A and B are shown apart, each in its own frame.
Chain A
């Protein structure tokens, strides 16, 4: 590592590295400094804040569940196949990671809005509209967070030792047994990491959610939306909720470092 930064270069590299770190750390530090910790729990106890916390906890958990059920098969297909179709599918599956979430929200309105490509049929035939519903929030969160699960789990599938699966087959294990006893344990670190990142991304989702699912208290108003509204009327509470989101994000990364990065990245 030391030879990577040669003795003359370090006078340029190290100051720039410090600037980079400051760019990331100082805003978060300022956020914490400006947060009224004396009233931290009072702020969290406000009815509207509790509603938002509840909506976010439920929707992000359901989103993560759907992401696992749908994302693992997609990751398996991506890992098991080759060719231009697979490459294209992989690219499409990761687009929401870089697409501005608001654009994702507009795309969802175009598809599932009440006059959308599919949404108009949903409304006419079944009377289902998604504006202001937790289901709408889950769909918005799933759109932006599913790629995190797919990417992590596909990497997990690639790291599976296929010969061990074959060996299990030779020993007479059924396809289900092979996966339950041999495949899944090997996949678990990637699955846990993917699911955790997916959940954290869903918790922080704002742009696609307000664009597609709106903001109905107790139904589709999540913590990030509540933060946006509180900035205007109650900046202290907005800071407190932002710190909660920060704690969730930091907690996820610290948890993953121990569980996933620690196990895979270091030999």
Chain B
């Protein structure tokens, strides 16, 4: 452990000397398609590097709770933000800057069915577990659509949004509830009009550049990037 810490400290020192200003961001995996471009735009505008670490929600939660050295957190859902905010770990107000549609998607070669017919269609369905943000939204979406989430028999309740999409891609599932931007290639239908929210916040006690990056996320340039990537903006 000490040895590992020593290595990390040396590496961190080496990194910080190579580039003077860097903003470190931990972000939800499902944002990667748009956030890489957004960060590149900001770097070319300000000269400040953005170092983004993408992860599933469990990793994000563990990292943020345990004081992972990040300047900015960008997460799906409200749970971890509320927890961090009430613990005093956030600087300033969290910003809801992007939305994602929650959709019912079908694997290649599967005849799409309506949400109402899903339970009796004999399809293999995978959903996200309610413990992860997508799973939370999935339950809300079914309820919005007038369907008891418990009536939907899933073959698997996956541990990440990425894992749910993978089941469609490999064909191990016929139908799945996913973020619209994760599976643009699949036939899909809206599910109860449910939207997922992405929130950005700068971490208390970190650099001002982190707060600047969070502010930038509300700009028109970012909104254009998000819309082009299939996201919805508030």
Contacts and interface: CB of A to CB of B under 8 A. Distances in A.
B156 A214 contact: yes
Contacts of B131: 229-230, 232-233
B154 A216 contact: yes
Interface in A202-219: 210-211, 213-217
A226 B133 CA distance: 16
Contacts of A113: 170-172
A19 B61 contact: no
A217 B2 CA distance: 38
A128 interface: no
Interface string A217-250: 1001100010011111101000000000000000
Chain A at the B interface: mostly helix, strand, loop or mixed? helix
Interface stretch (B8-16, B91-99, B157-165): B157-165
A235 B79 CA distance: 13
A90 interface: no
B126 interface: yes
B228 interface: no
B157 A217 contact: yes
A114 B171 contact: yes
A216 B157 CA distance: 6
Nearest to B157: A215
A214 B167 contact: yes
Contacts of A132: 154-156
Interface residues of B, number: 28
A217 to B, nearest CB: 7
A210 B164 CA distance: 11
Q: How large is the interface on A (under 10, 10 to 19, 20 to 34, 35 or more residues)?
A: 20 to 34
Contact of A229 (B2, B129, B154): B129
A129 B58 contact: no
Contacts of B65: 235
Nearest to A233: B131
A22 interface: yes
B132 A131 contact: no
B25 to A, nearest CB: 19
A129 B156 contact: no
Contacts of A131: 124, 126, 155-156, 167, 172-173
Interface string A118-150: 000000000001011000000000000000000
Given A132-B155, A217-B157, A225-B159, A115 B58 contact: no
A232 B156 contact: no
B202 interface: no
Contact of A232 (B61, B124, B167, B173): B61
Given A129-B172, A215-B156, A216-B155, A27 B124 contact: no
Nearest 9 CB-CB pairings of A with B = A214-B156, A115-B171, A132-B155, A26-B1, A229-B131, A132-B156, A231-B58, A19-B3, A232-B58
14 contacts: A23-B2, A26-B1, A109-B170, A113-B171, A115-B170, A115-B171, A129-B172, A131-B155, A131-B173, A214-B126, A216-B156, A216-B157, A221-B157, A235-B65
